[in-house]
Amino acid sequence: GEKPIPWDQLAKMDYHSGKTPPDLEKKLKAKSIRVAGYAIPVEVSDFDHIQNFILVPWKIGCCQGPPPDPNQIIEVTLKEGVSFDKLMDTVYITGQLSVIKDGNGQFGYALSKGEVFEPEFDI
């Protein structure tokens, strides 16, 4: 399959203005992009059907380091829920990526119609 969009390219989106460089803009217009990262479930009521989580470029421990910048966080909504164990390690997600404004007036990413795949490459 195609290689995932690199996080350093996603980081080129200015999270204060939401502006993206042309090469990234083109990828955001695509029907589907692929991205690899680590899933952090936000609210889990059913461990067998997780549909929403945030995707980040590196594993975040409970007390290690600061959280990533908004342009290094993707809010993912899956087409259908997956079990928690599918999200334990590196995950590959495909879906439609867009830039969204968060509650703090900063810009981040949202991925909709997501599907989870087993990793094909190391990240």
CA distances from 4 to 7, 64, 66, 87, 101 (A): 9, 26, 25, 17, 23
pLDDT at 64 (0 to 100): 65
Q: Three-state secondary structure along 82-99?
A: ECHHHHCCEEEEEEEEEE
CA distances from 83 to 41, 42, 46, 62, 74 (A): 11, 14, 9, 21, 19
pLDDT at 115 (0 to 100): 96
pLDDT (average), residues 79-99: 93
pLDDT at 66 (0 to 100): 77
pLDDT (average), residues 75-102: 93
Q: What is the pLDDT of residues 4-55, one digit of tens each?
A: 899 999 999 999 999 999 999 998 988 899 999 999 988 778 889 999 999 9
